[in-house]
Amino acid sequence: MSGIQPAGALIIGGLGHIGRGIVRALAGTGARLIVHDVAVEASAGRDAAARGWNSDLRLPELAEQARAAGAAAVDYALFDLADPHATATGCRQILAEHRVDIVVAAAGLQSTAPVAEMSRAVWDRILAVNLSSVFDLMQAFLPPMADRGYGRFISIASVHGLVASTNKPAYVAAKHGLIGLTRVAALEYAAAGSVEQGGVTVNAICPGWVETPLIEPQIQARMAADGADRAAAAEALLSTKMPSGRFVTAEQIGALTVLLCQPQMHALTGAALPVDGGWTAQ
């Protein structure tokens, strides 16, 4: 990334399917990476369990991929986004040891049920992870970005932040709220920095269906309903929403993330960018 080499990038939910694509894409810019996830490997040790963060922790496969792609360094942050105290502690620990120029909030939860049947506990956890945690991250990382004059805060929202679907009340509410939060933060930080520095931008990427575990129950339901194999069921499912007939890939989302991080993209802020094969164009 011209002018910001090597940037420090925090990828929240970096061990997920979309998160891994973003990690690999940002690694290719030579960035220093901090990869967040909630899961702790059995080999993490008591220090990681006690502190929730350990720069010596390595998830070998992802670290190897990132280094091979060009990452200057790979460290890890481990905390539960649904717990605001744990999130605040984790953010303080990261800021104490790293300069963070880029935050990509790629973590997400999904659970389906009609409004009348969704439990309040499920509602609360989905909003905590998909929306409230992003607010916590913005409070922690946007002010230091503004002080330096360069920063990128990118949330992985969803096409469901732009349109609704039945049986997803918490997910749709959280993603719509995330886009609103993105626009407010973008306005508040729009004047930070300068053209030469790259400014501070806040944007949301809104993917259509990505072939991840979140979509698998819908493919399985289509298989059962149609008596079809998986490939045919996936094709039939895509035809109901996405004119492209193709799943969005993690690599596409990673490429857009890198583009948004370029210093010359300082005028692109407050956007909800659909990557949805034409879903929301209909």
163-187: pLDDT as tens digits: 999 999 999 999 999 999 999 999 9
Q: Which of 76, 150, 171, 189 is catalytic?
A: 171
195 and 230 in a single domain? The answer is no
139 and 263 in a single domain? The answer is yes
234 and 115 in a single domain? The answer is no
115 and 236 in a single domain? The answer is no
Distances (CA, A) of 226 to 11, 113, 210, 212: 39, 22, 21, 21
For residue 151, the enclosing domain spans 8-210+250-281
Q: What is the DSSP string of 228-250?
A: --HHHHHHHHHHTT-TT-S-B-H
134 and 221 in a single domain? The answer is no
- The yes-or-no verdict on residue 258 having pLDDT over 60 is yes
pLDDT digits (tens, 9 = 90+) for 22-66: 999 999 999 999 999 886 543 344 333 333 334 444 567 888 889
16 and 41 in a single domain? The answer is yes
Tokens 């506990």 appear where? 121
51 and 173 in a single domain? The answer is yes
pLDDT band of 6, cuts 50, 70, 90: low
44 and 178 in a single domain? The answer is yes
122 and 145 in a single domain? The answer is yes
Across the range 237-259, mean pLDDT stands at 96
What CATH number does the domain containing 109 carry? 3.40.50.720
203 and 67 in a single domain? The answer is yes
DSSP state of 241: T
Which SS3 state, helix, strand or coil, does residue 175 take?
helix
Tokens 């339901």 appear where? 221
Q: What is the pLDDT of residue 63?
A: 81
Q: What is the pLDDT of residue 104?
A: 98
pLDDT band of 5, cuts 50, 70, 90: low
Helix (H) or strand (E) holding 200: strand 199-207
235 and 200 in a single domain? The answer is no
Examine the residue annotation and report whether 189 is marked as an active-site residue of this protein: no
